[in-house]
Structure 1
Amino acid sequence: MSMDPGGCRLSGGGGSDNHYGSDGSRGGMITLEDLESFSEDQLSDSGSGSLEEDGQAMEEDESNRMFHYWQDAARGHQVEVPRDMAEPIYQLTTNNEGAHERESVPFTLISRKEKCGEVLYEKRHYEKAYWACTTVNEETYEQSICYGFMKLMRYICQQNSTGSYLGLTIPILTVVRMDALHQTMSRAVTVAYHLPTYLQAQPPCPNDTDIVVEEWAATVVYTRAFTGPTNEETILHQMNTMVEILGSPQMPLNDSFIVAGYTNPAATNRQNEIWFIERP
């Protein structure tokens, strides 16, 4: 398939029509770097008893702290974090020691357009690759990407055919669909995770039937970086800005586009990109 979201579909299951240094804010969306925002002091308590007992108690305490932190962050977007997310949250935290540990999705830069020192957009080529994706249709965009991302977290954290932790990659993509006039965003969004290089030859199967792993065809995209939150208002603004820069005759619009997330939405200078897919 291509990066066009029409091909990133659910495979069976009963699901609805699936990037991140944090500033520690509690008002943020559920993201990978929220998990990295904890310091050793925040995540550990002194205790008494045997070393084994202290270790177990500390692990349980850390897991509970992380889980409650996620609950607090999610409530800001009317999202409830179920109790079964405690283990995936802990897995991501203990396995992800820093941003340098995450693998970036590889691409080839074709061209870059600049004006007065500002990069207006880049044209990139992405090779065909396997992505795990899940499509969610909640009341708001923020709710959809939160619930979709939690599904992918479970897949990354052992709920897969290998039973192992798969590793993180950036960016996490959100595929957004538009109406015929390109004025309104569909509530159904697709959240997608690029399988790490070492798993591309044989991607693990998800335990969750709402997640499908598919091969996306090689694709050329036009990308433009932007900072700040990713809600419906800002995304539509960025889409319209990209349209103006590219010009409709040069870049016929598809009925969808992609938001690529690199940093926690709660961060002051959140790093994002908007992607337009080049038609064949």
Structure 2
Amino acid sequence: MVACDPVARLRAKLRISNPLYVNLLSEFYGTALLLVLGLAIVMQFILTSEKMNTWININVGWGFAITFCVYCCSKTSGGHFNPAISLVMVTFGRLSVKHFLLYSLVQTLGAFVGAAIAYGVYRDQFLHYYAEAGIEGDWIVHGLFGTAGCFCSFSKDYVSNYTNFIDQFIGTGLLALFVAVIIDKRNKIPDVAHPLLFGLVLIMIGCAYGMNLGYPINPARDLGPRLFAYFLYGGEVFTQGGYYFWVPIIAPLPGALFGAWSYHFFVGAHIPDTIEDREINYIKEAEMMPLKKNEA
């Protein structure tokens, strides 16, 4: 009976045994899937002049997107999809620096591919949008008829890059803080609930910190689509806002470290731990480090 199962046959032929390759494939696929969904939500918002989607639709849509994409990869890489979160895992001892660099690369590549797919689905809508506006020639990056925001974040003219840096530092810090809370075994939150809670955290951050930049809070999520947008809009996607582009790439990294470790400094390190808890946590933590076990 098992031999007739197409999924079982596929597993037998294609299953990869190297955990690093499995995790890299999962991070690429999961990030691409996240951007296919997330950018489509933003495109519906911008290309319909905010008539089809609303801001709360964007927040809820991204929240559900991260939830189901993390569920998809929860048994392989765990579903980081974000170099800032992967960096936190390095400091938690769950990922090596070498693997962090590889994760970041495939996450960015996945985001690029996800942006290309979302654009392919909505390409005719982009053309229709500019035809209705009577605009011919080069597409507009930012402003009244700007559409590059369908792919990545851009700074508002009246918001400084100093403020943008703080925005991304705080926004990503909050994300990493609550990721640390959720995965802390001493809080006894069931593993099956983690992806849903991650999604709810993202909705919360979007509702609180979307005004300045739209809360990219993820270097791969912003850089990958920005690289794709370069082929549509040109170099302005990097020069706009006084070369703002580096802010959502750099600021999330220290922000994530600060947020995650602030939880452990103020709360996590002080949670009582029984002998039984220590044994259980030791086993579970070991199970979550398949890559480190295979590095030797």
TM over 0.5, shorter chain: no
What TM-score do you get using the length of structure 1 for normalisation? 0.26
Task: Say which one has the larger Rg.
Answer: 2
What TM-score do you get using the length of structure 2 for normalisation? 0.25
Q: Comparing both structures, which one devotes a greater share of its residues to helix?
A: 2
